Amino acid sequence: MICRNIKRIRAEVRETALHCGRDPDAVRLVAVSKRMPVEAVAAACQCGQLLFGENYLQDAVGKIERVEQAQWHFIGHLQSNKAGTAAKLFQMIETVDRLKIAQALDRHAGRLNKKLEVLVQVNVGREPQKSGIAPEHAEALLREIQPLPNLKVRGLMTMPPYGHAPEASRLWFRTLKELADRFAAEALFADDNTSVELSMGMSGDFKVAIEEGATMIRIGTAIFGKRPV
């Protein structure tokens, strides 16, 4: 079941990318395994899916320790006092949205002798209940994070306002892309010849996200089914 879903999504990613003139390999699939058991992660690995996203540290630790070949992105809200664990276990933190958490991650990454990849999370819809920095403050945050020696800022991430129709997300994805283009022109991302990452699009709207330039899509339900509550 999980394998079949992954294959279907890969085919859809490919078709969507080709259809809008993009390289299908320029879109990475992050399998969001939050609240799913380690067996589900193992099943996805068996199918060649080796990149996972987790929202809750507590829930992620056991899976990360048991599935050694996988890579992990943290995509949840991170508290400063958990920055050490996150810096140690994850290849990328997609949800940096304030200087304090960036500084904590940088400090821990330094201690671990690691260059930690991060994305800045932007609250494109300016929703009060959501994490992420407001678009108008993102540039200032990037300028503050840039000098931190142990972080590599690769791009931007967003969770747009929830819409029932995938098309409702398009404007928000476009907003993120425009911000990223502007920041890239100002050299605000880590500049070691890697392209700027745009993490956007989930089960319901990933095709629209790919059309608008996503380089990473975060898919949970469409791979693993409905999450247990």
Q: Applying CB under 6 A, which residues contact ligand PLP?
A: 32, 34, 55, 75, 159, 202-204, 218-222
What whole-number distance in Å separates Cα of residue 70 and Cα of residue 217?
17
Considering beta carbons, is residue 148 or 173 the nearer one to ligand PLP?
A: 173
Q: With contact defined as beta carbons under 8 Å apart, do 125 and 176 qualify?
A: no
Residue 11: which H helix or E strand, with range? helix 2-19
**Which residues, in sequence order, are CB contacts of 138 under 8 Å at separation 6+?**
120, 122, 156, 179, 183
Residue at shortest CB range from ligand PLP: 220
CB of 221 to ligand PLP, least distance (A): 3
The radius of gyration of the chain's CA atoms, rounded to the nearest angstrom, is 17
Contact (CB, 8 A) for 196 and 167: no
Output 104 or 219, the one with its CB closest to ligand PLP: 219
CB neighbours (10 Å) of residue 33? 26
The Cα 149–Cα 184 span in angstroms is: 19
34 versus 82: smaller Cβ distance to ligand PLP? 34
CB of 222 vs ligand PLP, minimal distance in Å: 6
CB of 80 vs ligand PLP, minimal distance in Å: 19
Would you say 205 or 211 has its CB closer to ligand PLP? 205
CB-nearer residue toward ligand PLP: 22 or 34: 34
Give the nearest distance from C-beta 203 to ligand PLP in angstroms.
Answer: 3
CB 131 → ligand PLP: shortest distance, Å?
9
- Close Cβ partners of 28 (under 8 Å, ≥ 6 residues apart): 51, 215, 216, 217
Report d(CA 86, CA 166) in Å as an integer: 31
Minimum gap (Å) between residue 224 Cβ and ligand PLP = 8
